[in-house]
Amino acid sequence: MKILSPSKHRRALTAVEVLVVVAVVALAIVILLPMFERHAHTRSPRISCVGNLKQVGLAFRIYANDNNDLYPMAVLEADGGAKEAVERGEMFRIFEVMSNELSDPRVVICPADDRTAATNFSNFNNSHVSYFVGLDAVGTKPDMILSGDRNIAIDDQSLSGIVSLRTNATLAWMKSIHEHAGNIGLADGSVQQVTTPMLYQLLRNSGDGENRILFPQ
């Protein structure tokens, strides 16, 4: 049997063909690189936000361990909580009473939000907070919504103060912050990256028909 050497059928690329290949690769880089850069730009803040919300969830759990398994919104101010502050709309007090657990006020600002972080907890108010708080969340019910990005709308209207998120409402993530998406922390300490359909699913799974949420004003 005659064996043909592959080298007899191999032809080197001409200079013109090499230039064509190089030009095609360069064009592909020019077209695709901005897409990768945009993806990296939008993805990185969202991942950092997930890290923030995990720290927030941990702070809630540490606080509850020292306060009869109660979160600040269920503890009287006289006992080191923020129950009355919630009724006054001062939601930042929830994080303020957990300042030892949080350590840094920058933790409650999403990197994709246009809000500015406070330099310390002494100079701190609602405008220094990106995240909402689930008022009725308890550690014994792991599927309840505890915290999350504030860019949720009902009928295209942004939310502030105490709002009940019901599954029969027209809910949606606004484009601001995470491009029609958001992050939500649950009472079990987990954080999920959530689209609008997934938001409805989390509300259904929470076991709470009201889902009272306190949004920073």
The pLDDT tens digits for 183-200 are 999 999 999 999 999 999
Residue-level pLDDT at 124: 94
- Residue 50 pLDDT exceeds 60: yes
Give CA–CA dist 110/56, Å, rounded. Answer: 12
pLDDT at site 37: 44
Q: Which of 1-5, 60-64, 125-129 has the lowest mean pLDDT?
A: 1-5
Stronger pLDDT, 111 or 37, i.e. the higher one: 111
Least confident of 43-47, 83-87, 125-129, 210-214: 43-47
Query: For residue 154, what is the enclosing H or E element?
Result: strand 152-154
Q: Inform me whether the pLDDT recorded for 1 exceeds 80.
A: no
Torsions phi, psi of 86, nearest 5? -60, -45
pLDDT tens, position by position, 68-100 = 999 999 999 999 999 999 999 999 999 999 999
So what's the pLDDT on residue 43? Answer: 54
Instruction: Tell me what percent of the residues of the chain surpass a pLDDT of 90.
Output: 72
Domain boundaries, the chain: 46-215
In the chain, pLDDT over 70 holds for what percent of residues?
Answer: 81
35 has a pLDDT exceeding 50: no
What strands lie across the sheet with 171-173, from one edge to the other? 157-158, 152-154, 171-173
d(CA 105, CA 209): 32
> What average pLDDT does range 168-188 have in this prediction?
94
- Structure confidence at residue 17 (pLDDT): 61
Which pLDDT belongs to residue 40?
Answer: 42
Describe the strand order of the beta sheet including 212-215 as a list of residue ranges: 161-164, 212-215, 131-134, 145-149, 182-186, 191-194
Q: Of residues 6 and 55, which shows the higher confidence score?
A: 55
pLDDT tens readout for residues 6-23: 545 556 667 666 566 665
What pTM does this model have?
0.77
